[in-house]
Amino acid sequence: MFKYPILLLFIFAHAQLFSQSAADYFNKAKASAESGNKEAALEQINAAITLDPENLV
């Protein structure tokens, strides 16, 4: 009986720990661009725009 609530708690905690905000993706994109990895920077900017299209930094 207690297995399901514990499982749901684990899944929720896992999602919260590994979720990233648009600002996180923007910061990663900036670092990637500065290091010369333009392809990764574009992917991360696209992810940021997808998550928060109204708040373009």
Residue 3 domain-assigned (yes or no): no
- Looking at residue 13, what is its pLDDT? 55
When comparing pLDDT for 12 and 25, which is higher?
A: 25
For residues 26 and 56, is the Cβ–Cβ distance under 8 A?
no
What integer best gives the mean pLDDT of the chain? 80
Domain range enclosing 47: 20-57
Q: How many domains is the chain built from? A: 1
For residues 3 and 34, is the Cβ–Cβ distance under 8 A?
no
Query: In the chain, what percentage of residues exceed pLDDT 70?
Result: 67
Copy the structure tokens of residue 9. Answer: 């708690």
When comparing pLDDT for 46 and 57, which is higher?
A: 46
